[in-house]
Amino acid sequence: MTKVPDEVKTALDWVEKVIKFFEPYKPEKKMMRINCINQTSEIGLLINIPDQYKRKVGKIKIPAYQNFQIYEMMTEDFNLLDVVKLWTNVNGQWVLNTSVLPPVDNFFLKMRGYMSPEIISKMVFVDEAKNRDQTEEIDRYWLKCMIKDVELIENVWNMLEIQHVNVGIKVGINRCFSTAVPNTYHKKIEAAQRFLRYGQTRDRQKVFHAWNEYRKTLRMEGVSIDALIDLIGKLTSGETFGDFVHVERPYTRGPINREQEFSGPFPNYMRVQALTDLDLKNYVADSYMVFEKKKYIDKIKEKINA
């Protein structure tokens, strides 16, 4: 039998332990599904419990290793059974009352356990889109992820799905604001930031100086500091920024958040999630995301001058 690499074996630790617990019932591995967002892994096993064995043992006990859940059970001809009534968790063990099982030998079980991001990363390679192509109009970020050791894994599992693989993208926006916002407004925001920063210290001289600089900006013409800060918040919301980023198939755009990192008066990055699903047939996902930076700069100018 082909050997699965050690790092993949580690990733499937809870799965392998559970399968070992089911060894007396001749388990056949049918499917595995990993959800990267929920950090869960699900497995499907076909197990064999002959009628004579049901009468003999009465109950089957399986250790609930790492608190895995049995959430679905059906007969080999796909009749769904009441898993809540059949399986109960007693003192850290899943207990099956075999006397109430229907008169068939083979059953399909689905189980769910926890899988941390660190463990998932041992099975999936993700390129975090650091490279990009740039023009005056757009930035194009290349996206790539893939299942590691596919040929070896498919010797063990009939079906493997890895859902919601996230290729995280840091989209630079500081230059967009620096280009679009007049220097006068830069000074306003920087003065407000200095005053807030020094206000948290005990250096009275710095606080007094920062307060004087801040008061001077209040007399400057144009948008107020409060309005500027509110405007930056709106322009860096996921809803607004999402109008300027487009993800190509097989990816879909996930949540968008502003990173709390600033250079000068403006935020440096937006974090965009690009999500895709992988399986043993489609085990590589190559595509790109486009940031329409010129349109975004024009939007900033429009709002500043409104």
Write down the pLDDT at residue 184: 76
- Euclidean distance between CA atoms 140 and 129, whole angstroms: 10
What DSSP line would sit under 235-299, residue for residue?
HTSHHHHGGGEEE-TT-EEEEEEE-S-EETTEE-EEEEEEEEEEESSS-EEEEEEEE-HHHHHHH
Write down the pLDDT at residue 229: 83
Query: What are 147's two structure tokens?
Result: 């299942």
Residue for token pair 């899943």: 94
- Euclidean distance between CA atoms 242 and 290, whole angstroms: 11
Q: What sign has the CA pseudo-torsion 150, 156, 158, 161?
A: negative
Non-local CB neighbours of 292 within 8 Å, separated by 6+ positions: 137, 138, 244, 245, 246
Cβ neighbourhood burial of 176 (10 Å; 0-12, 13-18, 19+): buried
Each of the 306 residues of the chain gets a pLDDT tens digit; together they read 445 556 555 556 677 788 889 999 999 988 999 999 999 999 999 999 998 888 788 899 999 887 889 999 999 899 999 999 999 999 999 999 998 899 999 999 999 988 888 888 888 999 876 667 899 999 999 999 999 888 877 777 888 999 999 998 999 999 999 999 887 776 777 776 776 677 778 778 777 776 677 676 766 666 677 888 899 999 999 999 999 999 999 999 999 999 988 877 889 999 999 999 999 999 999 999 999 999 999 999 999 887
Closest CA to 63 of 8, 103, 17: 17
Write down the pLDDT at residue 1: 43
Query: What are 197's two structure tokens?
Result: 């920063």
Read off φ and ψ for residue 246, nearest 5 degrees.
-135, 130
CATH numbers and ranges of domains, the chain: 6-118 (2.60.40), 124-201+225-304 (no CATH)
